[in-house]
Amino acid sequence: MIYSQVLSQTNFVNEDELMYPFQERGLQFGDGIYEVIRVYQGHFYLITEHIDRLFRSAEAVKLTLPFTKERLFQLLGDLLKVNQIKGDAKVYLQATRGSALRDHVFPDVDANFYAYAQGLPRPIQKLTNGVAAITQPDVRWQNCYIKSLNLLPNVLAKQEAKEQGAFEAILHRDETVTECSSSNVYLVKDGEIRTHPETNNILHGCVRSRVKVLARQLDIPLLEKAFSTDDLQQADEVFLSSSTAEIMPIVKIDGNKVHSGEPGTVTKKLQKAYEEDAGLTASIFAQVR
């Protein structure tokens, strides 16, 4: 079942009654920012990290949000209650520079803010068996750390992955891997995890930040050090992370198996630690692999 509402300022509106402004800068310019927050068993996971990042993105694009962090916490909690979210779900929230006559210059209007809640089960089969990925040139702009609405290159890369029967596209700049179209990516070699440093060229993922914590707790070395597409082919394991994909094993890249073609030991350890950290009562490890 899907639960959906839209939050405009402090009003809850049924999705069928939503009137999206015609001259909305999010529509006309992609002039806005967003977040996707995971909900497990009716409770937010990593909500503080997501709200902090929303405010960092807003500052980076000179967008004044119409609320404090504390007020946003309250509003998002109310959104779950209105939608009666008890199970696994996601909350999408978006802030734009508002509605005004089309002009590249910032208008003197209030920001628009929207949010909705939608049921979203965990991708158990993919988490258990792993997924395929392809590699694609990273043709995005130089400020990927901002979680903006300008996602056309990501969309095209993700579509190419789908058309090739894969789950995700691993992006690279001159053969140096940055991240995926909608997730962060990691390789494991000789028991050590490597992932691209937190520069402007990647999104500083909330689950990525938790992977670093979990790896430290498990005494697994993690280096924020760039690697190449050739390194991917020589990796013992490859995995990705995001709020909706969690910690997902990648078992095939560009049609070639990653090592044995099965999810690896380090990835499984991180998956188990993630489930414990999120307070999940149903484990993927109860499933037959």
What per-residue confidence (pLDDT) applies to 1?
Answer: 36
pLDDT in tens, 111-136: 999 999 999 999 999 999 999 999 99
For 126, residues 6+ apart whose C-beta sits below 8 A from its C-beta are 167, 245, 248
Rg of the chain (C-alpha set):
19
- Whether residue 106 is found in the same domain as residue 150: no
284 DSSP 8-state letter: G
What per-residue confidence (pLDDT) applies to 121?
Answer: 96
- Whether residue 9 is found in the same domain as residue 89: yes
What's the maximum distance between 2 C-alpha atoms anywhere in the chain? 57
Question: 92: which strand partners?
Answer: 36, 116
Which is nearest to 115 in space by CA: 85, 157, 152, 151?
85
Domains in the chain, number: 2
pLDDT interval class at 281 (50, 70, 90): confident
What per-residue confidence (pLDDT) applies to 11?
Answer: 82
pLDDT in tens, 144-163: 999 999 999 999 999 999 99
- Whether residue 19 is found in the same domain as residue 33: yes
Of the three residues 80, 101, 119, the one that is the final residue of a domain is 119
pLDDT in tens, 35-67: 999 999 999 999 999 999 999 999 999 999 999
- Whether residue 107 is found in the same domain as residue 138: no
pLDDT in tens, 20-37: 888 999 999 999 999 999
Of the three residues 96, 119, 142, the one that is the final residue of a domain is 119
Residue 230 has pLDDT above 70, yes or no: yes
pLDDT in tens, 81-103: 999 999 999 999 999 999 999 99
Is 160 exposed, middle or buried (CB count within 10 Å of its CB: 0-12, 13-18, 19+)?
A: middle
CA distance 274 to 40: 12
pLDDT in tens, 251-279: 999 999 999 999 999 999 999 999 999 99
Could you tell me the CATH number of the domain that includes residue 130? 3.20.10.10
CA distance 130 to 127: 6
What per-residue confidence (pLDDT) applies to 18?
Answer: 81
Catalytic residue list contains 147 = yes
Q: At 251, list the tokens.
A: 């078992």
What per-residue confidence (pLDDT) applies to 286?
Answer: 75
- Whether residue 138 is found in the same domain as residue 102: no
Could you tell me the CATH number of the domain that includes residue 49? 3.30.470.10
- Whether residue 112 is found in the same domain as residue 130: no
- Whether residue 163 is found in the same domain as residue 243: yes
Three-class SS state of 102: coil
In this prediction the pTM is: 0.94
- Whether residue 143 is found in the same domain as residue 274: yes
Which string of DSSP letters, residue by residue, matches 235-246? -SEEEEEETTTE
Burial 276-289 (b: 16+ CB within 10 A, else e): eebebeeebeeeee
- Whether residue 74 is found in the same domain as residue 135: no
Helix residue ranges, H only, the chain: 25-29, 47-60, 69-82, 124-129, 152-163, 206-217, 229-234, 265-278
- Whether residue 99 is found in the same domain as residue 154: no
- Whether residue 140 is found in the same domain as residue 201: yes
Of the three residues 73, 93, 119, the one that is the final residue of a domain is 119
Residue 288 has pLDDT above 70, yes or no: no
Domain housing 26: 5-119
Active site residue: 81, 147, 158, 189, which one? Answer: 147
- Whether residue 222 is found in the same domain as residue 276: yes
What per-residue confidence (pLDDT) applies to 8?
Answer: 47
